[in-house]
Amino acid sequence: MARVDVMGTWGTEIFADDHADDVRADWRDGLLGGHDPVALSAQLIDQNARLDRGAEESIVFWVALAAAQHETGWLQPDVQATAVDLIDRGGDVARWAAEDSELAASRQAELARLRAKLTGPPRAPSALIRSVDHGVRFEVGDAVLLTAASGVRAVAVVVAQDPGGTARPVIEVLLWDDDGSLPSRRFLATAPVVHTDSEAVKPVDGPPRVRPALHTMITPTRETAFGPRLGRLLARGIPRRPSADLRDGTLTAGEAVVTYLTWPALIVHIESDEFVHERQLTRDAVQRPRRRFGFRRL
């Protein structure tokens, strides 16, 4: 099956794309910073033109900017006209059609819904409130022990930081058989990451791909923050790099599956039958640890 060769895309929704999400964030941050909407719009358009991202990424930019402006009540006429024209020309549906007809149809429906909003009654400008980050800050190399109320445990290592900041760590959950003792530093540095066969659309001509599963941990509320009821810090300074390129990981493309989860949702996952299935997939897919280090045991 063909891939969608668009870096950082995880769904057909308007903002399910790193570039689109960044455009919305830049627009909202600018408004929160007190910038005039007309001047801010012109600034973002100029920045996009200078980056020369290519035709498909340019479509993503205009569609995302129009959507972001509409939802805040500051839709600019030139942005509206450009986005509607691009949607009428087919938008970026072709890139999804290269992956799967169902994905293409889903993207087309998303664009049609946005077009209806853009050409409908304008929204009144809304007062924006800067979001509060409830996340607990981790550093790359931190290892955590996750513990469910049932007693099921798992270990994970922070291998990167999401551009949102150190309160949004990217973690790998490791293939660990809990025998009651804690894993060594060597194990935390070399053990295989748990793999998954999750796909946005299951292939019809063969089994789904088995890829490393990485998780960007988000904390939208205080109730989802990492704490003693969910786990504890196990070690620091574990020399472990990501198992795959994080910029190219989605449910539809890339060498890894990169998801966005809250800590409680991850706890639920490690107790699930799906996690048992993923552990077996990993045993079948990975033959030996990828690196060896001579660290002392914790």
pLDDT band at 289 (very low <50, low <70, confident <90, very high): very low
Amino acid type, 128: L
Say which DSSP state 251 is in.
S
d(CA 105, CA 109): 6
pLDDT of residue 272: 94
**In the predicted model, what is the mean pLDDT of the chain?**
84
146 close to 155: Cβ distance less than 8 angstroms: yes
> Which of residues 141 and 57 earns the better pLDDT score?
141
DSSP structure class, residue 249: B
Q: Find the farthest-apart pair of alpha carbons in the chain and give their distance in angstroms, rounded.
A: 66
pLDDT in tens, 58-76: 999 999 999 999 999 999 9
Is this model's pTM higher than 0.75 or not?
A: no
User: Token pair of 245, please?
Assistant: 């390129």
Tokens of residue 133, six digits: 């980050």
pLDDT band at 271 (very low <50, low <70, confident <90, very high): very high
Q: Residue by residue, what is the 3-state secondary structure of 29-42?
A: HHHHCCCCHHHHHH
What does the pLDDT read at residue 221?
Answer: 82
Cα separation of 263 and 215, whole Å? Answer: 10
Q: What does the chain come to in residues?
A: 298
User: Is residue 84 exposed (0-12), middle (13-18) or buried (19+ Cβ within 10 Å)?
Assistant: middle
14 CB neighbour count, 10 Å cutoff = 21
- Express each pLDDT in 189-234 by its tens digit: 999 999 998 765 555 566 778 889 999 998 888 888 899 999 999 9
Distance (Å) of CA 33 to CA 40, 133, 235: 10, 17, 39
pLDDT of 89 higher than 60 = yes
Between 291 and 158, residue with greater pLDDT: 158
Q: Where residue 15 falls among pLDDT bands split at 50, 70, 90?
A: confident
180 versus 246: the higher-pLDDT residue is: 180
Q: Name the amino acid, one letter, at 240.
A: R
* Residue 29, φ and ψ in degrees, nearest 5: -65, -40
Residue-wise DSSP of 157-215: EEEEE-TT-TTSEEEEEB-----SSPPPHHHHHHSPBPEE---SS--SSSPPP-EEEEE
Q: How confident is the model at residue 27 (pLDDT cuts 50, 70, 90)?
A: very high
Lowest-confidence range among 46-55, 90-99, 215-224, 260-269?
46-55
Backbone dihedral region for residue 90 (phi beyond 0: left; psi -120 to 50: alpha; all else: beta): left
CA distance 186 to 184: 5
